Amino acid sequence: MIIGIPKEIREAENRVAISTDVVKQMVKAGHSVKITSDAGYNAGQLNENLKLAGAEIVNDNADVFSSCDVIVQVNPPDTSQIELMREGTILLSYLYAYTQPELVKALLKKKITSFSMDAVPRISRAQSMDALSSQANLAGYKAVLLGANALGKIFPLLMTAAGSIKPAKVLIFGAGVAGLQAIATAKRLGAIVECTDVRPETKEQVESLGGKFLAVKDEDGVKTEGGYAKEVSAEYLAKQKALVSKHVAEADLVITTALVMGKKAPILVSADMVRSMKPGSVIVDMAVESGGNCELSEKGKTVIKEGVTIIGETNIPSLLAVNASELYAKNIWALLSHLATKDGFKWEMEEEVTKGSLITKDGELVHAFTKGLISI
Q: Are residues 310 and 325 in the same domain?
A: no
Confidence at residue 109, expressed as pLDDT on a 0 to 100 scale = 96
Give the residue ranges of the chain where pLDDT is below 70.
Answer: 218-232
Domain membership of residue 248 (yes or no) is yes
> How many residues are there in the chain?
376
Q: Which of 10, 21, 100, 122 is catalytic?
A: 122
Q: Are residues 180 and 33 in the same domain?
A: no
Burial class (CB in 10 A: 0-12, 13-18, 19+), 87: exposed
Q: Distance between CA 250 and CA 239 in Å, rounded?
A: 18
Q: Are residues 247 and 105 in the same domain?
A: no
133 is catalytic: yes
Burial class (CB in 10 A: 0-12, 13-18, 19+), 197: buried
Is the pTM above the cut of 0.75?
A: yes
Q: Are residues 92 and 145 in the same domain?
A: no
Amino acid at position 303, single letter: V
Q: Which of 32, 128, 228, 337 is catalytic?
A: 228
Q: Are residues 48 and 87 in the same domain?
A: yes
Q: Are residues 302 and 178 in the same domain?
A: yes
Domain membership of residue 376 (yes or no) is no
275 is catalytic: no
Confidence at residue 226, expressed as pLDDT on a 0 to 100 scale = 52
Q: Which of 78, 80, 125, 127 is catalytic?
A: 127
Residue 143's alpha-carbon distances to 140, 191, 289, 314, in angstroms, are 5, 14, 14, 11
130 is catalytic: yes
Q: Are residues 72 and 198 in the same domain?
A: no
Q: Are residues 208 and 60 in the same domain?
A: no
Confidence at residue 230, expressed as pLDDT on a 0 to 100 scale = 56
Domain count, the chain: 2
Domain membership of residue 134 (yes or no) is no
Identify the three-state secondary structure at position 244.
Answer: helix
Confidence at residue 220, expressed as pLDDT on a 0 to 100 scale = 54
Q: What is the average pLDDT score of the chain?
A: 94
Residue 186's alpha-carbon distances to 112, 147, 160, 281, 312, in angstroms, are 43, 10, 22, 15, 19
Q: Distance between CA 199 and CA 147 in Å, rounded?
A: 25
Q: Are residues 230 and 152 in the same domain?
A: yes
In terms of residue numbers, what domain contains 274?
140-314
Domain membership of residue 280 (yes or no) is yes
Q: Which of 19, 116, 133, 297 is catalytic?
A: 133
Confidence at residue 233, expressed as pLDDT on a 0 to 100 scale = 73
* CATH number of residue 9's parent domain: 3.40.50.720
Domain membership of residue 135 (yes or no) is no
Domain membership of residue 279 (yes or no) is yes
Q: Are residues 203 and 308 in the same domain?
A: yes
Domain membership of residue 289 (yes or no) is yes
Distance of CA 54 to the CA centre of its chain: 29
Q: Which of 130, 197, 252, 285 is catalytic?
A: 130
Q: What is the 3-state secondary structure (H, E, C) of 156-216?
A: CCEEECCEEECCCEEEEECCCHHHHHHHHHHHHCCCEEEEECCCHHHHHHHHHCCCEEECC
Q: What is the pLDDT of residues 199-238, one digit of tens each?
A: 889 999 999 999 999 987 765 546 555 545 556 677 877 8
343 is catalytic: no
233 is catalytic: no
